[in-house]
A and B are shown apart, each in its own frame.
Chain A
Amino acid sequence: MPKPLRIVMWMGIALLGALAVATIALRRGEQINAMWLVVAAFCSFALGYRFYSKFISAKVLALDVQRATPAERLENGRDFVPTNKWVVFGHHFAAIAGPGPLVGPVLAAQFGYLPGTLWVLAGAVFGGCVQDFVILLFSIRRDGKSMTEMAREEIGRVGGFVAYVAVISIIIILLGATALIVVNALKSSPWGAFTIAMTIPIALIMGLYLRRLRPGKVLETSVLGFALVMLAIWGGQWASQTPSVAGVFTLTAPTLAILIIVYGFAASALPVWLLLAPRDYLSTFVKLGTIALLALGIVALRPTLHMPALTRFVDGTGPVFAGSIFPFTFITIACGAISGFHSLIASGTTPKLIRRESEARMVGYGAMLAEATVAIMATIAACVLQPGTYFAINSPAGVVGQAPEVAAATITGWGFPVTAPEMHSLAQAVGEQTLYNRTGGAPAFAVGMAHIFSNSLGGQAVMALWYHFAIMFEALFILTILDAGTRVGRFMVQDALGHVWKPMGRTSWYPSILATSALVCGAWGFFLWQGVKDPVGGINSLWPLFGISNQLLATVALCVATTIIIKMGKVRYVPVTLLPLGWLVSVTFTAAWQKIFNSNPRIGFLAHARNLASSTSTHEASRLILNDRLDAIVTGFLLVMVVLILLESVVECARVLSGRKQAGVKETPFVASRFATEEQG
């Protein structure tokens, strides 16, 4: 394309993006079409990729096509394999995309569509994509080393220790919080519980089919598994309408929590091929298909957003979670804007597959933009609901009341009209007994998705099937994370305990497997149980805790990146990572401080404990008080850990900048790439 035409095209994209952002930001009192969000996202992400990521590639990281990557130098056909950039992109995206970008934006929609959307647009372009990109490249230049190893080598021993603690903490809190989402979606839902229960034998059948009948035919097995899951969704309707079966699958939240903890333990201890791997394949298959389908549905339907740009809950009194826009929007939406967890993937499998350094830009920066697009779709799915319906689904009984009429009256009193008969007919349309108090974001997202799908394909008659398809899709996602997360956590604990007593470090020694699986399941099971027993729904305390730990891990990753950039002698480009780091420090520290010390009992853990202590003295209250204090201690501990890595990082950078320490990074020495030579030839 000729240069003048390119300039005109990019100016057009910039103007269109500015118009879309202005429309979503400035329109008040009238509903807007969801396509404005899509256009704003497309233009912002296109500009971010074309200009900002190119600037980072050229000036900050100086990507070198002549330099061989570890995939080329250490090629072994196993973990180090030079791979086509599009294939690595898909692989990386499949690994970073989980339920986070779907759940976070749905919860943050209580503030209206505007805060979450703006955070996703800016957070992804200037924060999340940058973090993923730079960590990926730094790992590539260090033979695919993990974030923890890079923290130890480039910052110091404390940095390495803090990174390790941050990783294990986030895994445990993440598993507890996401398990609670599944519990809240499946409680008193025989259809959903039946469908999800069936995915366990389906995964086992897939595992056996793969191993015994069609070795290595994973795609074929996944298609078969998907067909069986669709059958299970259809069977769920039968189960919910057959009283004897419905009775078995109508489960309370505590029962579901116990079943999920037992499942997590079993999945962690069983061989990978039998349950974990087939479930992972099935989940990935459904995930990629559903995300594509949702994107098509939104573009085809072009729905209107019923949620206002800003709601009255920007003041921090929201029923979904308590706390004001700052800092809570920025910790509620993590994965769609910036997620510390991504730094583990970017310094895990992906750097060992990249064929040429220049491809890190598309994989690291580009895949995160794709994830941010998923977050925008989730925002749309939540905001196409009538606000009254959204709040009826997402508000806990402890806030709006148990009886349908009381809950509807409370929500209507907030200015979001909804009636008990409307909610009843919606529940019937999606095949549920009730949709009240289904906190956690998953059911609201499922209703929104069912609304979009049923209006594009099949009509209202199949809304129940779409709803349960969406619930199955999210629960499948989350249970896969429980399998994989528990096992990763188990390995980390085994590695650590192996330093104390060698046999505990042997990953195939069954006593060690059982003990460490129990330890990890017990840890996340504690948070899950706490959430299940929480009278205000658990999400109010668990999701912010997860958001804080995830963003603190991003703080650690950006600390590592900033230190390396300074050591590379590129101080003038340090704002690229220092600004998002500064933002995250202010967000996470404010949120953590408020969650511990805020005097509002709905926000502050300690205030809630004091409130309970002064109002009641039952055994239940004592347990809740203990939970609050433990949550405060966990939050405080994470905060101290991050202060430590920040301090060590500042000291290391100050020594380099003052000349007391020679600047130098621990990169693998340059080796010329044969791929670059081949290309030139």
Chain B
Amino acid sequence: MTRLREAVNVVLATLREIFDESAYRRFLERKQMGSSREAYAEFLQEHELLRARRPRCC
């Protein structure tokens, strides 16, 4: 049961990383902010250049 829970946690963590939710959480921690429209807009601005330069493979 513990192993199953661990596996589910890893899958969720992977999805959160792929879908940038973890990046947003780290941003909030770094800036010591709570989640809000303004905070997310600031995160998107910071993250935009990084994301736009990321190639997607064929």
Asked if A210 meets B10 with Cβ closer than 8 Å, knowing A273-B48, A335-B58, the reply is no
Question: A488–B53 contact, CB under 8 A?
Answer: yes
CB distance from A259 to the nearest CB of B (A): 21
Residue ID in chain A nearest B50 by CB atoms: A79
Of the candidate stretches A63-71, A91-99, A301-309, A633-641, the one touching chain B is A91-99
Contacting A at CB under 8 A, from B33-55, are 35-37, 39-41, 43-44, 46, 48-55
Residues of A within 8 A of B44 (CB): 211, 272-273, 277
CB distance from A99 to the nearest CB of B (A): 7
Question: B21–A218 contact, CB under 8 A?
Answer: yes
Question: A215–B40 contact, CB under 8 A?
Answer: yes
Pick from B30, B55, B58: contact of A178, CB under 8 Å: B58
Residue ID in chain A nearest B44 by CB atoms: A273
Of the candidate stretches A32-40, A81-89, A577-585, the one touching chain B is A81-89
Question: A481–B56 contact, CB under 8 A?
Answer: yes
Q: Is B57 an interface residue (CB 8 A)?
A: yes
Question: B14–A341 contact, CB under 8 A?
Answer: no
Pick from B48, B49, B58: contact of A174, CB under 8 Å: B58
Question: A219–B57 contact, CB under 8 A?
Answer: no
CB distance from B53 to the nearest CB of A (A): 6
Pick from A91, A100, A171, A480: contact of B18, CB under 8 Å: A91
A436 to B29, CA, bound (A): 56
Question: B57–A95 contact, CB under 8 A?
Answer: yes
Q: Which of A89, A90, A481, A485 has the most CB of B within 10 A?
A: A90
Q: Is A78 an interface residue (CB 8 A)?
A: yes
Of the candidate stretches A158-166, A320-328, A344-352, A599-607, the one touching chain B is A344-352
Question: A280–B46 contact, CB under 8 A?
Answer: no
Contacting A at CB under 8 A, from B1-25, are 10-11, 13-21, 23-25
Q: Which of B29, B39, B48 has the most CB of A within 10 A?
A: B48
Question: A216–B40 contact, CB under 8 A?
Answer: yes
Question: B48–A272 contact, CB under 8 A?
Answer: yes
Question: A481–B20 contact, CB under 8 A?
Answer: no
Q: Which of B14, B27, B29 has the most CB of A within 10 A?
A: B14
Pick from B18, B19, B37, B48: contact of A212, CB under 8 Å: B37
Residues of B within 8 A of A195 (CB): none
Give 1 or 0 for each of A481-497: 1 = CB within 8 Å of chain B CB: 10011011001000000
Question: A91–B17 contact, CB under 8 A?
Answer: yes
Residues of B within 8 A of A659 (CB): none
CB distance from A382 to the nearest CB of B (A): 18
Question: A86–B58 contact, CB under 8 A?
Answer: no
Interface range, A side: 35 or more
Q: Is A222 an interface residue (CB 8 A)?
A: yes
Residues of A within 8 A of B58 (CB): 98-100, 174, 178, 334-335, 339, 341, 481, 546, 550
Residues of A within 8 A of B48 (CB): 271-273
Residues of B within 8 A of A83 (CB): 17
Residues of B within 8 A of A397 (CB): none
A210 to B20, CA, bound (A): 12
Q: Is A77 an interface residue (CB 8 A)?
A: yes
Pick from A95, A215, A222, A341: contact of B39, CB under 8 Å: A215
Q: Which of B24, B29, B36, B58 has the most CB of A within 10 A?
A: B58
Residues of A within 8 A of B46 (CB): 78
Asked if A280 meets B17 with Cβ closer than 8 Å, knowing A77-B30, A215-B35, A216-B43, the reply is no
Residues of B within 8 A of A473 (CB): none
Contacting B at CB under 8 A, from A219-277, are 219, 222, 271-273, 276-277
Contacting B at CB under 8 A, from A266-299, are 271-273, 276-277, 280-281, 284-285, 288
Pick from A84, A218, A335: contact of B57, CB under 8 Å: A335
Q: Is A507 an interface residue (CB 8 A)?
A: yes
Pick from B17, B24, B50, B55: contact of A485, CB under 8 Å: B55
A178 to B58, CA, bound (A): 8
Residue ID in chain B nearest A103 by CB atoms: B58
Give 1 or 0 for each of A329-355: 1 = CB within 8 Å of chain B CB: 000001100010110110011000000
Residues of B within 8 A of A87 (CB): 10, 13-14, 17
Question: B26–A77 contact, CB under 8 A?
Answer: yes
Other A-B pairs, 11, CB within 8 Å; known A215-B35, A271-B48: A87-B10, A97-B57, A98-B58, A178-B58, A218-B20, A272-B48, A277-B51, A284-B18, A285-B19, A488-B53, A491-B52
Q: Can you give 29 contacting A-B residue pairs, CB < 8 Å?
A: A77-B29, A77-B30, A78-B30, A78-B46, A79-B50, A90-B17, A91-B17, A97-B57, A178-B58, A212-B37, A216-B21, A216-B40, A217-B21, A218-B20, A219-B16, A277-B51, A280-B56, A281-B19, A339-B57, A339-B58, A341-B55, A344-B55, A345-B55, A480-B56, A481-B56, A484-B54, A484-B56, A491-B52, A491-B53
- The residues of A with any CB-CB pair to B shorter than 8 Å are 77-79, 81, 83-84, 86-91, 94-100, 171, 174, 178, 210-212, 215-219, 222, 271-273, 276-277, 280-281, 284-285, 288, 334-335, 339, 341-342, 344-345, 348-349, 480-481, 484-485, 487-488, 491, 507, 546, 550
- The residues of B with any CB-CB pair to A shorter than 8 Å are 10-11, 13-21, 23-27, 29-30, 35-37, 39-41, 43-44, 46, 48-58
